[in-house]
């Protein structure tokens, strides 16, 4: 169970995001408190969805824009390539494009204390109505802009995976480790690094009375 129950999070979010139901005819479609890392509520009107997240992991409240696929919320891609379809993106990224000053104000509202959390939700709800109006009316073209932003960022900081194997590991064992990564994504470059195994057993503990003069035993 998350540190915040779904029904409590729904009650906190509703005063700020109720406009989705009243003005834009969205519906509250899901809520989830099944992990210790986050509690979420999801509003949707196909093909759009919006996830409002109480994030223990990142110590803040987050809003995520979603383009549904076949009426469902698609998984988050592990790696981004030139042909990766971007269907999910944090509101932060949209604010990078549309209102960087608002993003700076939002970043100053980190933390999950109730007054700060309320101010952050109010700011995010207002930002949606100011800068994501087309998305709220089910125009998904915003994902074209977000696609360019995210892929430009990835091009600047290329993705790689580093795997660590014990020093002296066989070629077969190393190849299997690399193959396991490539089963997840065959396009991702993999760097192999070695670590030294501990030598011998555990060091023998010496009590003070076992030490000789000069510190030797």
What DSSP line would sit under 142-155, residue for residue?
Answer: HHHHHHHHHHHHHH
**Separation in Å, CA 91 to CA 26, 94, 160, 181:** 18, 5, 26, 30
- Closest CA relative to residue 31, chosen from 48, 15, 8: 8
Q: What is the pTM of this model?
A: 0.81
Q: Where are the domains of the chain?
A: 6-156, 161-195
Beta strands 27-32 and 38-45 are antiparallel
CA distance 127 to 146: 16
Q: Over its length of 217 residues, how does the chain's per-residue pLDDT go in tens digits? A: 458 999 999 999 999 999 999 999 999 999 999 999 999 999 999 999 999 999 999 999 999 999 999 999 999 988 898 999 999 999 999 999 999 999 999 999 999 999 999 999 999 999 999 999 999 999 999 999 999 999 999 888 877 888 888 888 888 888 888 888 888 878 888 888 888 876 655 555 555 444 444 444 4
Contacts of 10 (CB under 8 A, 6+ apart): 28, 31, 41
């Amino acid at each position: 169970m998350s540190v915040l129950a779904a029904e409590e999070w729904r009650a906190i979010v509703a005063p700020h995001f109720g406009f989705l139901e009243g003005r834009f005819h969205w519906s509250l479609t899901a809520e989830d408190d099944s992990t210790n890392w986050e509690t979420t509520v999801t509003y949707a009107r196909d093909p759009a969805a919006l996830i409002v997240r109480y994030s223990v992991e990142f110590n803040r409240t987050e809003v995520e824009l979603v383009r549904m696929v076949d009426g469902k919320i698609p998984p988050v891609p592990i790696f981004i390539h030139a042909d990766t379809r971007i269907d999910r993106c944090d509101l932060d990224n949209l604010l990078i494009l549309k209102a960087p000053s608002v993003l700076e104000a939002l970043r100053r509202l980190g933390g999950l204390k109730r007054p700060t959390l309320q101010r952050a939700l109010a700011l995010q709800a207002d930002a949606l109505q100011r800068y994501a109006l087309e998305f709220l009316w089910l125009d998904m073209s915003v994902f074209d802009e977000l696609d360019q932003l995210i892929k430009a960022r990835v091009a600047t900081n290329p993705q790689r995976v580093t795997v660590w194997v014990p020093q002296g590991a066989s070629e077969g064992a190393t190849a299997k480790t690399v193959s396991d990564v490539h089963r997840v994504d065959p396009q991702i470059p993999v760097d192999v690094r070695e670590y030294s195994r501990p030598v011998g057993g555990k060091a023998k503990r010496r009590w003070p009375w076992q030490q000789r003069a000069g510190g030797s035993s």
